[in-house]
Chain A
């Protein structure tokens, strides 16, 4: 609720931000440049990290279901599927883990002012993620990989399910932390220390934003896994490889994708309505809606003059934005200019408008990619039901390219979420420009920015190479029953 934020945030803005003028040393333009670099570093490392996370969450679920089917039916095809997709999961998982390391520490490195101000609230879900979820994933993944001959089938199966649960819990606590940045609840700013302090941990975990973010993210991860499984299976089916393994894989991919893509759309819609209430500026920017409008149209293509605060060109579907965000034909949707004036009254002078171009276009690309995936999944299912999937060469040829779609949607989705929140790092409470490390200068941030970017770039190439190579390889052969040396480390 934006109303209940009002009082707290105003006080927070007054006491914690403008009230701490002495902390930032005056380093002139260099500090601003360091801030920009730190923001780029966060953007690059986070988007890169999130390149791997959704596929891990999605693929481990597929792997767990396949192993369950093998356990139930003793059909060796399911065991081969488990090993084939499990191996791809592991290649991908490794990068998710190591890029996650950087995430844990870069708040302290580049955002020390943020860490001091919010550590009390934000640190808790992060620490709990490590203790409750990350330990679980990392320990049981080792057991799963090396345990084929040492554990009973039942325990081995339990291991992959525990990893699946662990990845989900991980996502939950990380999103709890992020949701607090979007919609801060359960805290107050201590006027003595000038820091945010947690006073209701339950509120943090029941944050309404978390409960729309979490399903949307998990479903998006399942879509990522689904599109990946469909695409890779299609590549093999087109060539007539191992049709039994890949027909079943494709069918699973299609069914999961059907539920997950529809779920992503529905949860995304609910998120949009929530965003209109909680972060109206983000919604206004995402729609390039400059002035508060009743019965606002949904923009399909707009060119804005940001300086003047208006659109030069705009194609829109009448009334649809109002219907989508307020459930009423003539509902009022607040515009950027009106919100800017309102925010200046609340928080003082300054610009409270995010990068409208980035917010508007990432929103459209994300939604576009999402609907495309629904469409592709429906076509695939229709072909499958008519038993024409393997003969529909055009679909099999096209499906591997569609693997790019979830990646595009995941990345633009996060860019929308984070860029749309600017200039705030914690919405209504702390500005991004006040959050960086005052003692970390331009040269230092540049060093790590270049360093991480080069390392990540190199690893991305190697990872893509390995994924493609192993995705094209034969599914491992297995001897009945369950001899399993095939997962090579």
Chain B
């Protein structure tokens, strides 16, 4: 019964992977813009352009996380329960960061005092930097293995999450998202701000490539025993993509560079999931304690209902979110903001 890939558990594993990939691809550049905000924004107008570059879309991007969480709850309740009760403090830090960041976008323009904006801009920076780092730490630990007992209960502590492999993954996700944000800004801004964004991207491209290389090689060394080809293929793809960013950025092929950073995010995330499959959380205590798509999943009926719901709504969501990006495809210039032609 547990053979082959044509089953609802595998489908939901793939869907949840797709949700996380979507989340990291989309909110990845939101995080990057937030992290680059204090470095690229020389004055109030710059900073407003930077915030406006993601203003219409960040909220919709964050919903990918909510849905990833909800889908995990519905399809793999044990995974949801173990993951979030186990990674407790890490998740708290991520949530606190996202809370401050979310209100900061909304509130920064609503106060007159110069300190007001500065405080919210700090909230945007930290609210982007902390999750950008911690998501990498979290996913590396899911794959590397954490202490889980026979009842699927977490038996570790917060410090267990801070091992060298996971920290490298955190640095990788942080750099990758920042680079992704920088390249995104070369598409959304013009003039001097765009030049600065491109310089930032060029500066970040090599260290990011090194981090991705380091993380993927380490992952390969740890995981190659499973004899899978697919994770290796996507790893190479991710590496090639991120290595190409330097060249693409210099050649001013911003659209291609953005595609490349996006592909790198997709590839790194997919590597983790493909190495995981069919496990969803690895137990460092005993392999028998691993959470898998079989022992952590909901019953067949729930998975069937959820599959129908997903088939109806997922294409719809993709269509209207895609349409939103089309509507807001234009670059934002200083004159737009100064003339007030753009809600800042």
Contact = CB atoms under 8 A, between A and B. Distances in A.
A126 B73 contact: yes
A126 B75 CA distance: 11
B84 A134 contact: no
Interface stretch (B149-157, B240-248, B274-282): B149-157
A130 B206 CA distance: 37
Contacts of A130: 63, 66-67, 69-71
A104 B84 CA distance: 11
B141 to A, nearest CB: 16
B57 A201 contact: no
Given A104-B69, A130-B66, A119 B77 contact: yes
Interface of A: 22-23, 90-91, 93-95, 97-102, 104-105, 107-110, 112-113, 115-116, 118-124, 126-132, 134-136, 138-143, 145-151, 190, 195, 197-199, 201, 437-440, 444, 447-448, 451-452, 455, 459, 462-463, 466, 469-470, 484-485, 487-489
A102 B85 contact: no
13 contacts: A97-B62, A98-B99, A109-B84, A109-B88, A126-B73, A128-B309, A130-B70, A138-B63, A142-B58, A439-B85, A466-B111, A485-B341, A488-B109
Nearest to B69: A104
B299 A198 contact: yes
B302 A489 contact: no
A469 B116 CA distance: 15
A120 to B, nearest CB: 4
Which 7 A-B residue pairings sit nearest by Cβ, starting from the closest? A119-B77, A108-B84, A123-B74, A127-B70, A123-B73, A94-B106, A112-B81
- Which of B60, B77, B88 lies at the interface centre, i.e. has the most chain A CB atoms within 10 A of its CB? B77
Contacts of B39: none
B65 to A, nearest CB: 8
B127 to A, nearest CB: 10
B106 A489 contact: yes
> Which size bracket describes the interface of B in this complex?
35 or more
A415 B299 CA distance: 33
Interface string B326-342: 01100000000000111
Contact of B103 (A94, A132, A138, A141): A94
B314 interface: yes
Contacts of A459: 99, 103
A59 B158 CA distance: 42
Contact of A91 (B51, B83, B89, B106): B106
Nearest to B310: A131
A199 B301 CA distance: 6
Given A110-B85, A485-B340, A146 B328 contact: yes
Contacts of A116: 77-78, 81, 152
B91 interface: yes
B272 to A, nearest CB: 20
B305 interface: yes
Given A131-B313, A138-B62, A488 B344 contact: yes
A22 B83 contact: no
B89 A489 contact: no
A455 B152 CA distance: 32
Interface stretch (B176-184, B188-196, B262-270, B317-325): B317-325
B11 interface: no
Identify the interface centre among B151, B340, B343: most chain A CB within 10 Å of its CB: B343
B77 A451 contact: no
B82 interface: yes
Contacts of B109: 488-489
A101 B70 CA distance: 11
Nearest to A456: B99
A124 B328 contact: no
